Chain A
Amino acid sequence: MRKIVAIFMLIFCAALLCIGYQSEWMSSLSKWMYGNESFLGSDKYRFGDLYGLSYYPQFRIKKEDKKLASYQITSKVNDINLTIIGDSYTYSFIDEQVQNFKRVKDLQFASWEERNKLKLPTPSATRNILLIEIVERNALTKLRADEFVKCFQLQKDQPSYKEKMEVTVENNLDFLLFEHSMFSKIKELKTSILQKLFGKIPGDVVLSKDGQNLYLRETMEGDTPANSFKVLSKSSYKTFENYLNKMYDKGKALGYDEVWLLIAPNPVRALQTEKKLANELFTYLEKSTTLRVKFLNILPALSRNAKSNFYASDSHWNLNGATIYRDLVNQELLKR
């Protein structure tokens, strides 16, 4: 009997370790788990990514798992090639179909990690527009880095061996062992106990003052640029603007006729639940006369009836918010 248990443990642990090292297997397995609603499936994103980080039981609210419906009627004139480098605020909500964007003849999406795979524009009569979409918590770091400016043909960022071994394998094993929905109740119990005892939610998640929303901690606290309330100096704004102008110059050099920027605000900024002033990043970019990038300020539109534009348990906007995003881009496209 002991031998059988030992053999079982050996095979089980060895299988876990092998799968944990294989990013392709993990990718397939995670897709299956996210889509599966049985006890083996994963609740990590089904009820919002912030629920998945905190397992705060009051925020176990099922998310809509669909994208925006494409427009039925396409534009009469399709004279724009649109390239969007964006994140999950774009590709989780909008299909890569030209029907989603007015006057667009050719559309391509790329995530930040895959921007080197983009087809660059070739000289033609069609107008080429590059739209950079990025969430606020990443904007000041990713868009500041000189690497972005050099990056269009660079290889994909390779994690260092140490990072890969320690972080990826560890994360994969955590996923394999504990990311099943059968453990959700225990995780919720932990969160409830810690919240009652210490008034804090585990994980990098914070409850809003009105108790109706979850936010990522880094977007509300701390000394990083991700924090919407971090006071930024004039020189910080100017430095950021200089990087954006470099990005514009790079985009023009690559053949784009226009370079646009849309920053998806941190939900805490748009929802204004914290009774304190966020920094002036959006105002600065909108009013700047020296910024060469076309800044699409989505904040005013999102802030109107803000609660209807964001998920309570997710760091993203919802379909309403995504609609506002698409409408804003189309508004600009129609002006061209």
Chain B
Amino acid sequence: MVFNSLHFLVFFGIVTSSYFLLAHRFRWMLLLVASCYFYMVFKPEYILILGFTILVDYYAGILIEDSQGKKRKTFLAASLVANIGVLAIYKYYFFIDSNLSAITRVFGQELHLPTWEIILPIGLSFHTFQAMSYTIEVFRGHQKAERHFGIYSLYVMFYPQLVAGPIERPQNLLHQFYEKHTWDRERVQAGLLQMVEGLFKKVVIADRLAILVDATYADLAGQSTLNLLLASVFYSFQIYCDFSGYSDMAIGAARVMGFNLMKNFNAPYLATSIPDFWRRWHISLSTWFKDYVYFSLGGNRVSVPKWYINIMIVFLISGIWHGASWNFVIWGAIHGVLQITGIQLNRWFPALATYNSKGIGKFLSQLWTFMLVTFAWVFFRIPSFSQIKWYFKSLFLSLDESFIFHFNTMELIWSFLLIGYLFLMDKKLIQKPIGGFWVKLFISLFVIYLFGVFNVKQFIYFQF
């Protein structure tokens, strides 16, 4: 079920009220059963895959902790292979197959993997990464192996962050399942308001912008330059509000029950550089790659060329994590190149960092960064190279065409007003509606009801 559905609302009501009615020692069972139900609503049989990875990593963690020397590496490798293997089969099978056939065709004999009907289990990329962070942290000695199978399962399956993050670390989340969370009115109210804020971002901003974006991208060849530019900018905000909205709802839902999940977004479009953008966007994933891939490759404690290679490797993997398609790899590569370029420019011109930190310099660098990120999002949004070709062709060759609004003027103005409101919220220049909790809640819900788009559109990051 998606967070912006009545099914989730009713489910949340049942789980949260049961949580506070139950004695502490039974709460983990409730959350585990609820998380299983939450996952099985999508496709029940895929809980077996989740079960498999949970079993492997549970035992791997214990065996790593109880072993010495090379055996520890062996058990870690087994855990990583199992998780990456599951990802490879369920997410990358067709991608591997199509590329294998393309390569072998060049040599005169087209090879294919066995035909198999697979549907990507929802949240696979997220919970496998969360599980891998557990075994890695146990291996590194930063986390004690969890001996309670139910608690470990709950760590992987905890429903607020199961299908689209934030990708948690065991040091942050595991111990919270042992802590007794009592009713705290302020905390519950803050959690509910955060959920409502996330819902606002999703159904009022993201899904409304999606109307123009989808209409434009459905027919790229017939679009004018202005339409394409507008759709590209709107897509930047659509994906931000869609994903950060989901994260807010996840974090808020957990917060109601007393769990603190990590922040996943920090006003990314106020970033002054690409490295700054990646410190603000999908923080749980970027820190995962930093801690487990980038540092493992040596980070920046190597020669400069190797350092840049490390950066490219991380961004290429990040690209492929997002989707089994070359356009995502290109998107990752673009960010890698931009990251490296930014770093090198700062090495050549150290004064740039000072210029970008305040006043007009800061504004210009924020604008420039936003434009670069929006350019990269084009490759994220358009799935095929032929369509990308049409995009750029129409972008540069339709300058004198009249533009057709898929929105009327008022809807366009309203969309810009929403984006402006988002900026003010991100810069914390605007307070949420005044008044007590109930006033804030009802005003927010009323605005969502009035202006939201309610056709239960899935969250963009669910496809990853």
Q: Which residues of A are at the interface with B, using a C-beta cutoff of 8 A?
A: 2-3, 6-7, 9-10, 12-14, 16-17, 20, 161-162, 165-166, 169-170, 173-174, 177, 186, 190, 193-194, 197-200
Contact = CB atoms under 8 A, between A and B. Distances in A.
A170 B17 contact: no
Taking each of A7, A166, A190, which has the highest tally of chain B beta carbons within 10 Å of its own beta carbon? A166
A162 B456 CA distance: 14
Contact of A7 (B7, B17, B43, B183): B17
A190 B448 CA distance: 11
6 contacts: A9-B13, A10-B17, A13-B10, A173-B7, A190-B449, A198-B414
A10 B5 contact: no
Contact of A10 (B18, B183, B456): B18
A58 to B, nearest CB: 19
Given A161-B44, A194-B450, A198-B414, A2 B183 contact: yes
Interface in B1-57: 1, 5-7, 9-11, 13-14, 16-18, 20-21, 41-44
Contacts of A190: 449-450
Contacts of B410: 197-199
A3 B21 CA distance: 7
A198 B44 CA distance: 42
Contacts of A161: 43-44
A173 B10 contact: yes
Interface string B388-429: 000000000000000000001011001000000000000000
6 smallest CB-CB distances across A and B, nearest first, come from A13-B13, A173-B6, A10-B17, A6-B17, A9-B17, A13-B14
Given A161-B44, A197-B414, A199-B408, A10 B13 contact: yes
Contacts of A165: 1, 41
A3 B19 CA distance: 11
Contact of B408 (A162, A186, A198): A198
Chain B binding site: helix, strand, loop or mixed by DSSP?
A: helix
A6 B21 contact: yes
B21 A170 contact: no
Contacts of B14: 10, 13-14, 17
Contacts of B10: 13, 16-17, 20, 173
Contacts of B17: 6-7, 9-10, 13
Contacts of B11: 13, 17
B212 to A, nearest CB: 13
Given A161-B44, A197-B414, A198-B411, 6 more contacts: A10-B21, A12-B13, A13-B14, A17-B14, A162-B43, A190-B450
A5 to B, nearest CB: 8
Interface in B367-390: none
B420 to A, nearest CB: 17
A200 B405 CA distance: 15
Contacts of B183: 2
Nearest to B43: A162
B464 to A, nearest CB: 19
Interface of B: 1, 5-7, 9-11, 13-14, 16-18, 20-21, 41-44, 183, 408, 410-411, 414, 449-451, 456
Contacts of B20: 2, 6
A325 to B, nearest CB: 33
Contacts of B456: 166, 170
Contacts of B42: 162
A168 to B, nearest CB: 10
B5 A170 contact: yes
Contacts of A14: 14
Contacts of A12: 13
A216 to B, nearest CB: 15
A14 to B, nearest CB: 6
A165 B43 CA distance: 9
B18 to A, nearest CB: 6
A276 to B, nearest CB: 18
A197 B105 CA distance: 57
A223 B21 CA distance: 53
Nearest to B185: A2
Contacts of B408: 198-200
Contacts of A200: 408, 411
B13 A193 contact: no
Given A3-B21, A198-B411, A166 B6 contact: no
Nearest to B20: A6
A169 B456 CA distance: 12
A62 B20 CA distance: 47
A227 B450 CA distance: 28
A36 B9 CA distance: 27
B390 to A, nearest CB: 18
Taking each of A13, A20, A193, which has the highest tally of chain B beta carbons within 10 Å of its own beta carbon? A13
Contacts of B13: 9-10, 12-13
Nearest to B218: A223
Contacts of B43: 161-162
A199 B42 CA distance: 37
A3 B11 CA distance: 18
Nearest to B410: A198
Contacts of A174: 6
B10 to A, nearest CB: 5
Taking each of B17, B21, B44, which has the highest tally of chain A beta carbons within 10 Å of its own beta carbon? B17
B181 to A, nearest CB: 14
A13 B183 CA distance: 20
B462 to A, nearest CB: 12
B292 to A, nearest CB: 33
Contacts of A13: 10-11, 13-14, 17
Contact of B6 (A2, A177, A194): A177
A9 B18 CA distance: 9
A7 B449 CA distance: 27
A313 to B, nearest CB: 21
A16 B8 CA distance: 12
Nearest to A190: B450
A173 B13 CA distance: 13
Contacts of A194: 450-451
Nearest to A8: B17
A190 B16 CA distance: 31
A170 B454 CA distance: 12
Contacts of A7: 17, 21
A169 B7 contact: yes
A23 B5 CA distance: 19
Contacts of A166: 1, 7, 41, 456
A10 B16 CA distance: 8
A17 B13 CA distance: 11
A194 B451 CA distance: 8
A170 B6 contact: yes
Nearest to A199: B408
Contacts of A17: 7, 10-11, 14
A193 B7 contact: no
Contacts of A3: 21
